[in-house]
A and B are shown apart, each in its own frame.
Chain A
Amino acid sequence: MTDTPPHSEPARAEPAHAFGFETRQLHAGQRPDPNTGARAVPIFQTTSYVFEDPESAAAYFNLQEYGNTYSRIMNPTVAVFEERVANLEGGAGAVAFASGIAAQAAALFTLLQPGDHVVCSTALYGGTVNQLKHMLRKMSVELTWVDPDDPQAWRRAVRPDTKAFFAETIGNPGGNVLDIETVAAIAHEHELPLIVDNTFATPYLCRPIEWGADIVVHSATKFLGGHGTSIGGVVVEAGTFNWSNGRFPVVAEPSPAYHGLRFHETFGTYGYLMKLRAETLRDLGAALAPLNAFLFLQGLETLSLRMQRHVANARAVAEFLAAHPLASNVTYPGLPESRYQPLVAKYLPLGAGAVFSFDCAGGRAGGQDLIRGVTLWSHLANVGDAKSLIIHPASTTHRQLGDDELRAAGVGPGTVRLSVGLESVEDLIWDLRQAFALVAATAVSA
């Protein structure tokens, strides 16, 4: 079976050229469709793919040839999104998932087995904490929580059965910035991979693989998609970690779930990614929908432009809040007074993201009044939309907790989290100013 003779000349040979980020966010992963010439990425809304013949079908299922079988495992529209993110992050490849939570579960499940241990930053998104604390525990995986700002804490937490370090580039919502190069070096001293959630930075602001991270996970729902339309996630792997170092039998040894294949030995650079797709995605079933991949690709085309505006607006809003008498504890790491300034200068020179929190005067009631007062900021539980978002954890995501429990979770009764969008920044500040007026008026009348 040869539909193209191997010795036919290509349309045009492609010399090596280092394309810029903006070019790659538009083109990586996509070539004009050979059959139709379609310039936009076609939405392949199909569950399955007709095989050429029985031999082809067998070759695809055996992973002997790259071929489409079933959209739970691969889809050409999703594949464009995967390759584009892999390219922008500087990884060997990527596998997309139905959500960011599914992506990080899959990244971990691919390398863990019962009895293993993972070292995690304490400064993580609450949904991630739930997943690690409860779901991994159910699977008999033990965790040690460490202060991500203390490199020695990572080193002290390593045990013989440790399999990975897990942290966020910019912590949610505390705004702590990970010293990726240092933590990666400690992980590698112990022949462990560092997994970094790069959702808040995006590859435009920071590329953790360039600093030594081995696996990068994203909630694509946020800035990658950028328009609040779709839920999705993606895992990128650098392709350089030695999974055959003796610590990772589930990646290196013959796989009972794939007729004895040794994924790392057979596929080398691509071994972890092959296993992530052919086993973990296949068996978890959390596949990204093609339409959602298309919407994420539309978002990625303008990622650099949006992130430039996101960080410019975020900085202006943070400066406004830092100077406002009814706001305190503004966690934006891009502020000059932030203790993370040296790390921001190193890892986030183009800007420190656009999500942060602050404490509104008046405690729980003050936070609620501020939410009641805003008319342009959207009160909802998401971040990374083109539109500006606001939420008061004490009355929403953390509402079951008393004040003491809130503090233990790193959230004050008056803490408000912002995700700064792309609107006219004067309007965002105007809206906060008039909402603070309501907070002040309520405080006076009380």
Chain B
Amino acid sequence: MTDLGKYQDPLTIQRVLHTANTVAIVGLSSNELRASYFVGYYLKRRGYRVIPVNPRETRILGEKSYPSLADLPEPVDVVDVFRAPDALPEIARGAVANRAGTLWCQFGVINAEGNRIAEDGGLTVVVDRCMKVEHARYVGRMHWLGFNTERITSVRSGLQ
């Protein structure tokens, strides 16, 4: 078991959510019922620029889809991964080459080598967390459906 706690720090997650603008989603599906589509759709509606990375598609969510991270025309703030854990080391190398800010691995995308490659390349790494859930937890509305956000605060802020 990898110790994932260091990749799930709430302050780091909040910093990434609040500073990111462009999010490349590796493995984004064009199937509206897949989890990756739910996340891409949500992040786009919440104002992030979503860049699909999927060699089998040309456009997803109305955005041009790129075959790989190496094909991206610019560095992105977050590389969000919806792929099998085995694919992570190569994706991490692509994220480092892209000079991306953060490697974000969705639920179950757990690969210690991939994490190390990204960290050595200077990236922030988040693992086994959903970017949609974390956004909804800290910026708002997840609590409207009775989910346990684990937040305790008396500060007036957030998305109503």
A14 and B154 contact, Cβ closer than 8 Å, known pairs A83-B143, A96-B146: no
Q: Which of the candidate stretches B8-16, B91-99, B114-122 sits at the interface with the other chain?
A: B8-16
A31 and B158 contact, Cβ closer than 8 Å, known pairs A6-B18, A6-B21, A65-B42: yes
11 A-B pairs besides A2-B45, A64-B38, A268-B107 with CB distance below 8 A are A3-B159, A10-B158, A13-B14, A16-B10, A27-B154, A31-B153, A64-B41, A68-B144, A79-B144, A95-B146, A259-B33
Interface flag for A408 (CB, 8 Å): no
A34 and B146 contact, Cβ closer than 8 Å, known pairs A15-B10, A16-B10, A261-B33: no
Kindly list chain B residues whose C-beta atoms are within 8 Å of the C-beta of A66: 136, 141-142, 144-145
Q: Which of B41, B133, B146, B155 has the most CB of A within 10 A?
A: B146
Is B10 within 8 A of A268, CB to CB? no
Interface flag for A221 (CB, 8 Å): no
Contact with A along B68-102 (1 / 0, CB 8 A): 00000000000000000000000000000000000
Is B146 within 8 A of A7, CB to CB? no
Contact with B along A231-274 (1 / 0, CB 8 A): 00000000000000000000000100001111001111110011
Closest A residue, CB atoms, query B14: A13
Contact with A along B33-53 (1 / 0, CB 8 A): 111001001110111100000
Is B158 within 8 A of A83, CB to CB? no
Kindly list chain A residues whose C-beta atoms are within 8 Å of the C-beta of B34: 266
Kindly list chain A residues whose C-beta atoms are within 8 Å of the C-beta of B130: 268
Is A16 within 8 A of B9, CB to CB? yes
Interface flag for A303 (CB, 8 Å): no
Can you sample 9 A-B contacts with CB below 8 Å?
A: A3-B159, A4-B159, A13-B14, A31-B156, A34-B140, A34-B160, A68-B144, A79-B143, A260-B33
Contact with A along B121-160 (1 / 0, CB 8 A): 0000000001001011011111111111111111111111
Complex Cα spacing A65 to B42, Å? 6
A9 and B46 contact, Cβ closer than 8 Å, known pairs A82-B146, A265-B35, A267-B35: no
Q: Distance in Å from the Cβ of A53 to the closest Cβ of chain B?
A: 11
Interface flag for B2 (CB, 8 Å): no
Complex Cα spacing A15 to B38, Å? 28
Q: Return the 8 tightest CB-CB contacts between A and B, nearest first.
A: A82-B146, A11-B157, A2-B47, A93-B147, A66-B141, A86-B148, A34-B160, A32-B156
Q: Distance in Å from the Cβ of B8 to the closest Cβ of chain A?
A: 9
Complex Cα spacing A439 to B13, Å? 67
Closest B residue, CB atoms, query A17: B152
Is B149 within 8 A of A83, CB to CB? yes
Interface flag for A290 (CB, 8 Å): no
Kindly list chain B residues whose C-beta atoms are within 8 Å of the C-beta of A13: 10-11, 14-15
Complex Cα spacing A9 to B17, Å? 9
Q: Distance in Å from the Cβ of A385 to the closest Cβ of chain B?
A: 26
Interface flag for B4 (CB, 8 Å): no
Interface size on A, residues (CB 8 A): 67
Closest B residue, CB atoms, query A24: B152
Interface flag for A87 (CB, 8 Å): yes
Is A23 within 8 A of B152, CB to CB? yes
Is B146 within 8 A of A79, CB to CB? yes
Q: Distance in Å from the Cβ of B9 to the closest Cβ of chain A?
A: 7
Q: Distance in Å from the Cβ of A289 to the closest Cβ of chain B?
A: 15
Within 8 A of B (CB), among A266-296: 266-270, 273-274, 277
Interface flag for A373 (CB, 8 Å): no
Kindly list chain A residues whose C-beta atoms are within 8 Å of the C-beta of B159: 3-4, 34
Complex Cα spacing A16 to B10, Å? 6
Is B157 within 8 A of A34, CB to CB? yes
Kindly list chain B residues whose C-beta atoms are within 8 Å of the C-beta of A9: 18
Kindly list chain A residues whose C-beta atoms are within 8 Å of the C-beta of B144: 66-68, 74, 76, 79
Kindly list chain A residues whose C-beta atoms are within 8 Å of the C-beta of B133: 270
Among A6, A12, A29, A79, the residue within 8 A (CB) of B135 is A6
Closest A residue, CB atoms, query B149: A83
Contact with B along A108-137 (1 / 0, CB 8 A): 000000000000000000000000000000
